[in-house]
Structure formats: C-alpha cells, structure tokens
Chains A and B, each alone.
Chain A
C-alpha cells in the first residue's frame, strides 16, 4: 500500500532497477528511489559510477534491464511511443555533452521544445529571446551553435532545458564549463524553477555547489544508490531512505 501511494505521488519512482549495456555487467543494481514532486536533489558519485545512466532512465532514453521505472506515475515498461513522447515534453534535460544541434542557431536550438509541442511561432520568438537574454546570450541569438564557446553552448543547453517550464528538470554537470559567477546564477535559475514546482535532479562533481545549496544528495556507489540529507536539515521523510 505504501509503495503504491509512493508510486503515484512520485515524479520518479524506481524499484529493483538494474541496468546493463548490451551483454556487459550491471552498472546499476537494485536501485530504489522515490522523488517527490517539487523535490530538489543532487546526484553524485565517482566518474563512471552511473550518474548519466541513471538520469537517462529518468529522461526516458532507455528502459531498465530489470525492475520498474515510473515517471509521472506512468510505468515506462508499459508506455507506448506516443505516451513516452508526451511524458518527455514535461522533462527538461541538460546533457553533460550539451547535445545541441550544431548547424542550427542558438535561437533554433532553444526553440526546439516549443516547436515540437506545436507552439505558435510568435510566442516561440518572444519566449526564446527572453530566455536567451536571461542566460546572457542576447548577442548570440543568431549564432550557429558550433561557433559558440563551451560555456556559451552550456547556457544554450540550459536555456533549451528550461524554456518549456518542465515539471522535471534533469541536469548532468550543468555548470562544468562556466565561471563561478555564471554557475551560481544558473543554479539560482534551477532553484527558482524548483520554487515554482519543478522537480530537480542535478548531477555534479562540485562539492562547492553541493555545500552551498542545502539539498539532499543521491549518491551512487558500488552500483547502488544512497540518500544523504544535509546535516542541518531534519524535516525530511524517512521513507525516502534506502534501508
């Protein structure tokens, strides 16, 4: 009973999840988690621990090899292709490697999620311009993405992830390529979104960011997941913890 309510209330719900690539060994084993709507988590772990892999199941780029993953209450294993597409529209993703479309301008990259969801072109224009201005790229609106610097591309990637005001934001090392000032500004963007109700998961190596923002931490170690809560925060529910 407890599990069922968990599943329905959770934005992300995983149970007994295992993931392997091809015929290799499991890189994630027996993952269990339940992320509540409006929560904010860091995702940590050594390089190669499986952070990107775990996120990729959350943004529905792959299904678990075993166990079940539910996103917005929908079990991924039972969703059809169009269901999955509709679920993905509620998710914003910042990729570790940006995954921008090189031959398009910054504007067109950021406009992508809006156009896919069929938004009117006039509104697309207004929202994209505002967004790019906010991340400090108003001068680069019509630049072809491949000509931008790493940090600029990262900001385009973030703008694209948040332009649709997603219900779930998944960011993989979103501040790895920008200066501290910009990193904090971008983190504050995520915090603002979170305050508006977006559930956020940010994978990062930066202890500085983690200590600066007091959020619980999903830590990957030995293929498993543990949750650590900030020392000064006691108001969190026990049921989220791994046994």
Chain B
C-alpha cells in the first residue's frame, strides 16, 4: 500500500497538477475535440452521401428531346428526329459514353400512360423523346459542361434535370467536404500549437524543479516522460469532455436532418465505424499530445546546459 503510494509520487516530482497551463490546455483540447468531432462527423456523413449518390449517378443518364412545334404534325416529327439524331451523334463521340439508344415509341407511350390515361391518343400529341445514355463506370463526366454542350448542339435537347441537379449537389458536397478537411487540419494544427505553447510555459513554471532534477543527473528523457504523461492525462480528459458534448450534438443534427423530406440528406447517415472513429478521437489526441509534449520538452531543454 505504502509502496505504491511512493511509486506514484515518484512520477510527480514536477507537480503539474496545480499548473495553470494544464487547465488552459484541458479547456483548449475539449473545445478543439468538440469541433473536431462535429467536423469529422460532417466529413463522414458527406462521404456516405456521396458514395450513395455517385452510385446512382454513374452508369446512365437520360437526355430529353423536346418536340418541335409545327402545325404540320409530320413535319414536326421529322424535325424532332433531326434534333434527336444530331444529339445522338454528338453523344456517341463524348468520352465515357458507351452507347446511346432512343427509347422506342411503345416504351415512351408506356411511360406516359399513367399520366395521360388510356383515353388520350398519344399519336396525336407531341411527345418528348428520350435518349438512354449508357456511361462507362469509370468515366469522369462533367455534367454541367455536357448539359451546356447538348443545348448548343440542339435547342430541343436537355440533360435530365434531376441528374444535373444531383451532380451540382455532389460538386457542392465535395467542396464542403474539402472545406471541412481544411477545418480539421486547422483545428489539429492549432491544438498542436497550444500543446507546444502550454508545455513551454509549464517548463518555465517548473524551471526550479527541472534544474534540481538535472543536477541530480536526470536525463532529458526522464523529465520529458513526466511532462508527456501529464499532458496525456490532460488531453484524454479534455478529449473525453469534448466528445461527450459532441456526440449528443451530432445525434441531434442527424435527427434534424432526417426530418427533412426528400431522402437526400437521410442518405448522409453515420455508420458504426463513423461513430467508433468519433469516439476514438480522445485516444488519438492523447497520443498526439504525449508525443508533442515529449519532443517539446526535449527540444526546449537542449537549449540549456
């Protein structure tokens, strides 16, 4: 009993507990980890959303050819077909396009039947034509550019608006994710800087004891280990606090976004792996803090005798 007590004291020759730089660091890390966790959750959610969307956007797309208006029905159909062929010809030459097939008239009618009912004679109506475009899975297609180009080729042709909108959204989400990644690195860099700063401050505060330890023959590693251990504890407590606040916050945000109709944001759910990654942030921060403190002490002490 007594022995363990003295062993414990052995580790605390440098009394870092009542150290104001320790409290600063703990608060700092808990805030940083809170932000880090929420941003990371955002990145992970965007990732899952993107992979869902990309699956649906890859592989195929539809181009619509609006019928040309003309009182002469036959002429109108003829002109529409000219537009259709022009567009098909162009599409076949686009990189990443494997095949282009116009939908058969019968298929078209089937598609429209539910909307117009049986009583309407479709042959009497100007029906938009659809081109089914098969894409190479690995092709990177610039949907925006393609959409513009198609409209240039033919005034009647347009890219399926849902796909276009999705691709815009993917671009936006992608940008958002990159921004979040930048934010993550920033939060991380600032925390590392704070650890270095707090460690140096603490070294200054404890110069007296460190000096004694040196004169008794302690190597820098002996001192660095004490700081490293203490900083690790601080980072773990701060990190645990940050995550403890972040998890309910993330949960609330995801519940709120699920309530948004449309099913698009609900694809942005967090997997168990994502939650595990978020929960392990304190461990990650603890390791980083320990290594950072250790080397800060060593580097700072090397400047003394």
Contact = CB atoms under 8 A, between A and B. Distances in A.
A20 interface: no
Interface residues of B, number: 23
Interface residues of A, number: 34
Nearest to B304: A81
A63 to B, nearest CB: 6
B217 to A, nearest CB: 3
B118 interface: no
B255 interface: no
Contacts of A122: 3
Interface stretch (A7-15, A33-41, A98-106, A198-206): A98-106
A236 interface: no
A114 B3 CA distance: 15
Given A108-B9, A108-B13, A116-B222, A85 B214 contact: yes
A121 interface: yes
Interface in B167-219: 208-209, 211-219
Identify whether the interface residues of B are mostly helix, strand, loop, or mixed. helix
B110 interface: no
Contact of A112 (B13, B208, B219): B13
A127 interface: no
Q: In the complex, which of the residues B3, B214, B220, B301 has the most CB atoms of chain A within 10 Å of its own CB atom? A: B214
A113 B305 contact: no
Interface in A18-44: none
A180 interface: no
21 contacts: A59-B215, A61-B214, A61-B215, A81-B220, A82-B219, A85-B214, A87-B217, A88-B217, A93-B215, A99-B208, A103-B15, A104-B13, A108-B9, A111-B10, A112-B212, A112-B213, A113-B217, A115-B10, A116-B213, A116-B217, A121-B6
9 closest cross-chain pairs (CB), A and B: A89-B217, A88-B217, A85-B219, A116-B218, A113-B216, A103-B15, A85-B217, A116-B216, A108-B9
Interface of B: 3, 6-7, 9-10, 13, 15, 208-209, 211-220, 222, 301-302, 305
Given A112-B212, A125-B3, 17 more contacts: A61-B215, A81-B220, A86-B217, A87-B217, A88-B216, A89-B216, A90-B217, A91-B217, A99-B215, A101-B209, A105-B9, A108-B9, A116-B213, A116-B217, A121-B7, A121-B10, A122-B3
